Chains A and B, each alone.
Chain A
């Protein structure tokens, strides 16, 4: 018996090995290699493309003095807070709460809300170009003109607001799904008891629903913060970071520095900073999940 179990353990290791190898080769090694690269002047073109050399902390010194880098970090922070923490959360919670009621067309509503999440990044960006660009002919312009408001050139005047709205639009479904799952764990008899005691709906929400939902909400915030840091294609197809860096998320900044300006070493230094921020959020996430592992 003991012999058989030992063979089984050996077989299990073998089954896991290919996955471990792929993860090590394509994710863990690159993550570690980015630290090394960030200390070199590696480039895609020019003399340093042939013979990259170690340059010490030069990339980091440049990075901390680079207004564009701080701008990208600031834009990303506003973007994450605006779209993931506030926009998607509020609309996702509203739809999750509304869907708990006995309502007709439930599945139709949830399909509509899911649709933006199913759209590939490029298609979504493409659709929003038609919504926002094109002056008075843009769909949003015509909607506000219907209400008698003179439309501005959305992507020029409110670029950061616009990408927050676009990303909110794309992620309502994720928030709704996660928060619905949290809502369904709240015992119905507690809500019923509060109702019989004469609690008003808002009180029930404030004093019972929200506190019981808190773990789910924190989990959602962590998950959606890290995945929003990674957003690239949606905003890149819409604005490519412009105008004048107003929507240059840190992911777009990495891309521009590395593959447009060809400075891989500097791009790696920015990547290391982003990896560290994500890891910090990730560790909080793992600690929350620890109970369930």
Chain B
């Protein structure tokens, strides 16, 4: 009798793992099938919109990204804009998260609730007023710069402009990622004992010294998590570049891809697939590094 029971149970358990394998297999297939086309096409000398096995394998598509199209420029712009935004977010969230964790001020709780609420506001609903505000700022800036620099103004505004300039898009992308990053850093510093700092205070360290020699080394894992997530979400964002960038020399990867795809009759699928793969690799790599931070982040903040 006991043997019959246990063998029945074993059979049941066996059935479960079969069920688990088939569930995971089906979901995995669903998840990766769309990637086949883009992957194969990027190595295909004769890529089409539909999936087919390449007749001639080639790296040509990848080299043409940097020779024929402005893929190199798009890549540089994306790296520069998202890189600056990420650094800005990490610095601000590092300081801000520390303050939020250690402060006992009356505004602490309202501020934390505020961050959660802000995180919930859809960027799509903020973009219209944001555009108007930045356009006004941009006109002011241009009105101030034009009498001084004359013809050079456009070149300067390319860097410091709020619309169609690096500064504007960097600030906007950073602002959108800041709430989640602040939240990550606040929770992180909550788990760091204040004793380390107290020891440093007793030794007579100033705030700057404490930050430099005690807090930054302790906070590195938190900063890494905040930075990785800011990078992934800002890198994948399409709306903000679409609204705030227009000139060809500021084109980023998502815009370049999207616009190249609109040129209906002359779409070079192999080239676009190669650009897509290049565009896809950094966040995929970042995800691999970020995997161990995923749970804490997704429960604490809101997914991007």
Nearest CB of B to A121, in Å: 5
Asked if A219 and B299 make an inter-chain contact with CB atoms under 8 angstroms apart, the answer reads yes
Number of chain B residues whose Cβ lies closer than 8 Å to a Cβ of chain A? 97
Q: Give chain A residues whose Cβ lies under 8 Å from the Cβ of B118.
A: 23, 27-28
State in angstroms the CA–CA spacing of A112 and B104 once bound together. Answer: 44
- With A117-B287, A271-B126 as given contacts, are A126 and B92 in contact (CB-CB < 8 Å)? no
A138 CA to B302 CA in the complex, in Å? 34
- Knowing A12-B99, A12-B103, A16-B100 are in contact, say whether A283-B117 is a contact too (CB < 8 A): yes
Q: How far is the CB of B239 from chain A (nearest CB, A)?
A: 5
Other-chain residue from A110, A131, A264 in contact with B132 (beta carbon distance below 8 A)? A264
Interface of A is mostly: helix
Number of A-B contacts (CB under 8 A): 305
Bound-state CA distance A111–B285 (Å) is 11
Contact with A along B95-113 (1 / 0, CB 8 A): 1101110111100010111
Range, interface on chain A = 35 or more
In the complex, the answer to whether B21 meets A103 with C-beta atoms within 8 Å is: yes
Chain B: minimal CB distance from A159 (Å):
17
Chain A contacts of B23 at CB under 8 A? 94-95, 97-98
Binds A, one of B33-41, B60-68, B140-148: B33-41
Chain B interface mostly helix, strand, loop or mixed? helix
Which residues of the partner chain A approach B242 to less than 8 Å between Cβ atoms? 233
* B49 and A233 form a contact (CB under 8 A): no
- Whether the pair B99, A254 counts as a contact (CB closer than 8 A) is no
**Is the CB of B225 closer than 8 A to any CB of chain A?**
no
The answer to whether B92 and A120 have CB atoms under 8 Å apart is: no
Complex-state Cα separation, A137 to B51, whole angstroms? 8
Residues A33 and B133 in contact, CB atoms below 8 Å apart? yes
Q: Decide yes or no: A19 and B96 within 8 Å by CB, A26-B171, A31-B126 being known contacts.
A: yes
- B286 contacts which chain A residues (CB < 8 A)? 118
> Shortest Cβ distance from A162 into chain B, in angstroms?
12
In the assembled complex, the Cα of A129 lies from the Cα of B288 at a distance in Å of 26
User: Which segment of B149-157, B216-224, B272-280 sits at the interface?
Assistant: B272-280
8 pairs, A vs B, C-beta closer than 8 Å: A16-B99, A33-B129, A114-B291, A115-B284, A117-B287, A127-B34, A278-B122, A279-B120
The residues of B with any CB-CB pair to A shorter than 8 Å are: 12, 16-17, 19-21, 23-24, 27-28, 30-38, 48-51, 92-93, 95-96, 98-100, 102-105, 109, 111-113, 115-133, 171-172, 174-176, 178-179, 182, 201, 207, 232, 235-239, 242-243, 253-254, 257-258, 261, 272, 276, 279-280, 283-284, 286-288, 291, 294-295, 298-299, 302-304
Closest 7 CB pairs of A and B: A233-B238, A282-B120, A26-B175, A230-B122, A19-B96, A251-B124, A137-B50
